[in-house]
Amino acid sequence: MSEENKTAKKKCGGKGKAMFAYGIIQLGSSVVSALALTAIALSFCSLKQESKVFNECVEEIQSTGKSSSDAVRFCNGGK
């Protein structure tokens, strides 16, 4: 009976290592996903700030009497 138990334990050893590796891979992919989402969120913050500055530029140029298209062209770097 003890020989049968030893062979049964040897057969399960490979499955345990495979499941452990699978768990580590799953955890790693979750960490990578979280970091990617954080990077995306931070890029949205800078995009919001950039759009705010652009809108202020357009409003300032429009207040000088220029048309909306001229103000947008100027704020985009045109003449």
Averaged pLDDT, groups of 10, the chain, 79 residues long: 56 77 95 95 88 94 92 87
Q: Give the N- to C-terminal CA distance of the chain in Å, as an integer.
A: 91
Give the CA diameter of the chain: 97
Query: Number of C-alpha atoms within 13 angstroms, CB side, residue 79?
Result: 0
User: What span, in angstroms and rounded, lies between the C-alpha atoms of 36 and 77?
Assistant: 32
**Whether the model pTM is above 0.85:** no
pLDDT at 9: 57
